[in-house]
Structure 1
Amino acid sequence: MTNTALSRLLTPIYAAGLTAYVAGLPIAGLASEDIADQYPQSELYSKPVEVIPHVFSAIGATAPPTYENAGHNNNLSFIVTNEGVVVINAGASDALAAALHAEIKAVTDQPVVLVINENGQGHAVLGNGYWRDQGVDILGHADAIAETQKNGDFILQRMQAYNKDRAGDSRMEHANLSFDDRYDLSLGGVDIQVLHLGPAHDPGDVQVWIPAWKIMIAGDIAFHERMLPIFPHTCTSCWIETWVEKLEPMAPTYVIPGHGHPTNLDQVRRYTLDYLNDLRSKIGVHIEDGGDLASAYYVDQQQWRGLDTFDELATKNAGRVFEEMEWE
């Protein structure tokens, strides 16, 4: 039976299971930054799970990167076909990349043929060296490659600072393949689209879309169990525009976000698009009322307190949106 035929047979079963899984648990029951390492025999924070047939993800901690989670605080995913495996995210170190590779080998005899960096952040790219040493090509968006070329030493040093001996021999290795808007790949009868839908969380954010299976490995355009971070270079109005004009019309059934468990579009919309709109609305009122940056940090975000990393990010996000909006 081909991958496509098997998927058509099993996808309804997985859809029902995933829907029940998401609907049956409150957000706090799915993830917490206080949960200790779930897979202590591995460098990975958790063992990969099969989200739908042939698509697996090792779900990272929703906490910031630490020595205890070895920097595995994002999702490391892979797609299995009968002509090879595509990996999404190289991992935050060569040790994490090797651990993920061991899990792939336990699932399939097919070789890894491509690794995709979802952006230019350390947990997406610092395992590139391991994969290049295996002879695997690395694909990244042009803007993400520009980011690693500009700030690669700092990205590596920051990981080495928290990861200490667990950093191993990791090095900054840039993606050797690049694209601007879209990269199409057909492997084992599976059509995979690697997309840059537009500006969002970070330069060169990538979304991996499998139309036949209605699954999007969304990367950091989509958050739900942890608060999204807004960086000094993040354009929140652009993020909203990209979401509304590009992501929504695609209407994926399944979403693997950059962080947190697999879910659906409604859930990530609530904690990404709705959060951005809510924060921008409150900062807009604050600016209209003559408020300054110092008091902008304390606009009311209590409805989002249940998200992991709220304490680390809420006030920073408010300040950065103020700095963005005061010149709009």
Structure 2
Amino acid sequence: MRARIEWRRVGLMVLGWLALTGVAVAEEVKTIEILPHIWTVHSTGGTDSNATFIITDQGVMVIDTSMTPEGGRHLRDEILKKTGKPVTHVVNTHHHKENVLGNNAFKDCASIIAHRKAQKNMEAVVKREGLRDATFPNLVFDSHVELTLGGYLLELRHPGPAHTNGDLYVYMPTWRTIIAGGLVFNEVLPDTRDSYIDPWIDALQKMEDVDAELIVPGHGRPGGKQLIMKAKHYLILLKRYVNFELDQGHGLNDIIKNVSARLKEPYSGWLHPERMEANIRQAFIEYSAKRGT
């Protein structure tokens, strides 16, 4: 009976998030309780990554830390407003700067976790761009890790190369919730510069089969499982249209022009339309290579 009451509350929260998708938000950053004791710091502009924290009796887990040290400190301050418990775990879902540059606010945390390749990628980016005061993951894994914190079971799953070669997402089976990192985006065109489109589509298809009702995307508002389907559909259309143009023997410039025209209408309302050309270019590189052209 208690579980049924808790799930009724969860369902109402999910419906509330879905209803909010049509409401204009004046604030640039909002901290929202998406489930009991689980909060997401959501950027309305779609550039910064969503950051999520889970408050338990044994401490706090943070998933992604914002794109700047200042953003990390803001996240830390938001946590302090909700609890005096220490941050015991930080998880980076991949290496992009909007997910990891806030790590410095949690540099005293003993467990900063990422996929092994994400850690190496982050080190390469910091070195290449001369970034200062970066705090790197100190615990890495290759495929799957299970953690229990304050009665919460959290599964960290690496789906293989997708958005990057070092992605992970966090699955909370008790709450039927996925914190998806960069794998899922909600009405925000994704950054595909490090992506593998075919494996990404496969990863999202497998994620659809996970028993979950609430999805926290890397960018955009949390919502239901349709967020996974919407993200997958965008990638499928990108793949389909680019391959059609390759079948016609068209070059890159014509492909960018023609595919942009076809994608413009269904995705005209999504944030960061300037990424469209780069996404088409990435798909062109991937599918040209598969054809040996």
Q: Could you state the TM-score of these two structures normalised by the residue count of structure 2? A: 0.90
Asked if 1:183 is matched to 2:133, the reply is no
Contact 1:227 1:309 in 2 (8 A): yes
Residue by residue, what CA displacement relative to the aligned partner does 1:277-311 show, whole Å, maximum 9, x if unpaired? 1111111111111111111112111211111111x
Contact 1:251 1:265 in 2 (8 A): no
Structure 2 residue corresponding to 1:147, chosen from 80, 105, 121: 121
Contact 1:11 1:53 in 2 (8 A): no
Contact 1:120 1:203 in 2 (8 A): no
Asked if 1:59 is matched to 2:42, the reply is yes
Contact 1:284 1:325 in 2 (8 A): yes
Name the CA shift for 1:155/1:255 in 2 (closer, same or farther; >3 Å): farther
Match of 1:84 in 2: 59
Structure 2 residue corresponding to 1:264, chosen from 224, 228, 236: 224
Name the CA shift for 1:266/1:325 in 2 (closer, same or farther; >3 Å): same
Asked if 1:221 is matched to 2:196, the reply is no
Contact 2:159 2:168 in 1 (8 A): yes
Contact 1:11 1:52 in 2 (8 A): no
Asked if 1:284 is matched to 2:243, the reply is yes
Secondary structure, aligned partner of 2:183: coil
| Unmatched runs of 5 consecutive residues or more in structure 2 | none
Q: Could you state the TM-score of these two structures normalised by the residue count of structure 1? A: 0.81
Match of 1:235 in 2: 196
Aligned partner of 1:46: which letter? V
Aligned partner of 2:271: which letter? D
Match of 1:204 in 2: 166
C-alpha RMSD over aligned residues: 2.1
What is the CA-CA distance between 1:179 and the residue it aligns to?
Answer: 0.7
What is the CA-CA distance between 1:16 and the residue it aligns to?
Answer: 2.2
Question: Which deviates more, 284-293 or 197-206?
Answer: 197-206
What is the CA-CA distance between 1:8 and the residue it aligns to?
Answer: 5.9
Query: Aligned runs of 1:1-328 on 2, under 5 Å?
Result: 9-22=5-18, 24=19, 29=22, 38=27, 45-64=28-47, 73-132=48-107, 134-155=108-129, 157=131, 171-231=133-193, 233-244=194-205, 246-270=206-230, 272-298=231-257, 299=259, 300-302=262-264, 303-310=266-273, 312-328=274-290
What is the CA-CA distance between 1:235 and the residue it aligns to?
Answer: 1.2
Query: Identity of paired residues, percent?
Result: 26
Match of 1:164 in 2: none
- Report which of the two has the higher share of strand: 2
Residue by residue, what CA displacement relative to the aligned partner does 1:47-97 show, whole Å, maximum 9, x if unpaired? 311101121100013344xxxxxxxx1101001111111000122233222
| Unmatched runs of 5 consecutive residues or more in structure 1 | 39-44, 65-72, 158-169
Counterpart Cα distance in 2 of 1:116 and 1:53: 20
Contact 1:122 1:155 in 2 (8 A): no
Counterpart Cα distance in 2 of 1:277 and 1:97: 34
Contact 1:153 1:172 in 2 (8 A): no
Name the CA shift for 1:154/1:60 in 2 (closer, same or farther; >3 Å): farther
